[in-house]
Structure 1
């Protein structure tokens, strides 16, 4: 059941006060096996670039690979298949009809090595209500047994409005370098399995179109981030990425031809994924 609009502000305020006192801890191990599966998926999208012959030759997690570890168990999922432990609710336990990953930041304080015990402490830092949409800011602090540390911030938006495009192309920057890419339903399914992501918008076309009003099945936000960082590492192997912030602009659909692009703007490397309709995601390497 979805929230009515008039209860939204009261719900967000009440729920926010309680949820910000809570934290969640996830334990995992930074195994080579999960990283090997992801590496094979990513390498298949960059056939003209230098290969990582064996992920076990690497000592540390490549940028974006932390998404593989310390994920929720998906025991209490909503109608959309996504875990509801952080989903805003009102006094009667009613949830929003749709959720979206809208932005985030990754900061590598000290790289996490493979085959280490990893702990992630998660808590909600801020909740805002903007015209009936709840924006929930989440902090995830990864630490490993050898002193590695990755700090991640992500923002999810919760709304009762079905998806609708603005109808105007989202402008993409002029790239210094680009790489064409298309993801299939199999690619997206493999990534969902690796990250234990049960969100229906990534595999159930009928649900995505009929329930949420989306144009089709969506590529995951973390996968877009990882693709950009993986490609960047191929182009600039000499750069150790310490901070990457990004903003999801529009859905990227399965089987939709797109391009990964990079440009140097105001002294920073800016990356994007875009299609003929414009930007899907844009990110900045600091």
Structure 2
């Protein structure tokens, strides 16, 4: 890595970014029916019309507690300008790298509930490697309804340095259970699917809809499929094949970007005892793009 790259975050800068550790914010939202109905349509599901009391599918809480920065507060990448709740990372590329979620037994989130979310910066860590600098930010979210804690989520955010010509690409991986899937589904990530998910999550990040920006500024070959959308499609695959199952825990990790240039696929395989399900996504070349594990109640 060049001296220029190494100096983007120096010791003083890292200490400043780490001063965000422990920062917390509390927000509230009402779980309404319209986003649920819209998500069902976006995922091409034939769900009943949601009403008060309809249970929220796992990961569909991402339709709520959305960022509402004013237009004048939006940065060049389409995200809110940095330095508010999240630390002002000086690295331009931002990714939702993965997460871990635990749903409380007997206290599901449902349409009609008023929910409070307490978000806390758990850690800020820096790493420099062959592919450049990385800044990892771990955020914990705790969601509570009138009955108490309903969901705890750990959200991994990674900031990366801009791509440089000739920089080494990470070695692609084959899925650990390649060829062993019990369930599979092919997804065509066209512009409409990406637009609808961005709209549903009020996500202005330009890498998902602005082809000129994503190719010329961030150096990617095409529009990037949202990591949360892929994670949602993994659990949607589980729901299609085990409609009566209750997900207790879910962990996932983004391994490789997925672009809109080709179809991709999601796959699943339950364990022999039926207690867990291994889930993964792979691109058109068969390379692993996301890996997850669901634990059933």
TM-score w.r.t. the length of structure 2 is 0.84
Measured in 2, the distance between the counterparts of 1:213 and 1:269 equals 35
- Aligned position for 2:190: 184
User: Structure 1: how far apart are the matches of 2:52 and 2:266?
Assistant: 26
Label 1:165 to 1:249 Cα distance change in 2 as closer, same or farther (>3 A): farther
Q: What SS does the corresponding residue of 1:242 show, helix, strand or coil?
A: strand
The total of aligned residue pairs comes to 273
Are 1:12 and 1:88, in contact at CA under 8 Å, matched by a contact in 2? Answer: no
Superposition pairs for residues 81-230 of structure 1, below 5 Å? 81-83=78-80, 84=82, 85-89=84-88, 95-109=90-104, 110-131=107-128, 132-147=133-148, 149-162=150-163, 166=169, 168-172=171-175, 173-174=178-179, 175-230=181-236
2:284 aligned residue: 276
Which structure 2 residue ranges, 5 or more long, are not aligned? Answer: none
Distance in 2 (CA, whole Å) between partners of 1:67 and 1:123 is 17
**Contact 1:30/1:114, CA 8 A, preserved across alignment:** yes
Say yes or no: does 1:231 pair with 2:237. yes
Structure 1 segments, 4+ long, off by >2 Å, are 53-59, 74-78, 83-89, 145-148, 163-170, 264-268
Instruction: Name the SS for the 2:186 alignment partner.
Output: strand
Please say which of residues 197-206 and 7-16 is displaced more in the overlay: 7-16
Aligned equivalents of 1:266, 1:100: Cα separation in 2: 34
**Runs of at least 5 residues in structure 1 that lack an aligned partner in the other structure:** 45-50
Aligned to 1:80: 77
Residue 8 of structure 1 aligns to a residue whose secondary structure is coil
Q: Secondary structure at the match of 1:128?
A: strand
- Would the aligned equivalents of 1:26 and 1:71 in 2 still touch at CA under 8 Å? no
Alpha-carbon distance between aligned partners in 2 of 1:275 and 1:140, rounded to the nearest angstrom: 30
DSSP 3-state at the match of 2:250: strand
Partner of 1:55: 50
**RMSD over equivalenced CA pairs, Å:** 2.2
Q: In structure 2, how many angstroms separate the alpha carbons of the residues matched to 1:97 and 1:243?
A: 32
State how far apart, in whole Å, the 2-side matches of 1:69 and 1:176 are.
Answer: 32
Write the distance in 1 (CA, Å) between the matches of 2:43 and 2:218: 29
Does the 8 Å contact 2:25/2:85 carry over to 1?
no
Residues 1:6 and 1:260: Cα distance change in structure 2 (over 3 Å): same
Q: 1:34 to 1:148 in 2, by over 3 A?
A: farther
- Contact 1:38–1:194, Cα closer than 8 Å, also in 2: yes
Q: Tell me if the contact between 2:125 and 2:135 (Cα under 8 Å) persists in the aligned partners.
A: yes
SS in 2 for 1:130: strand
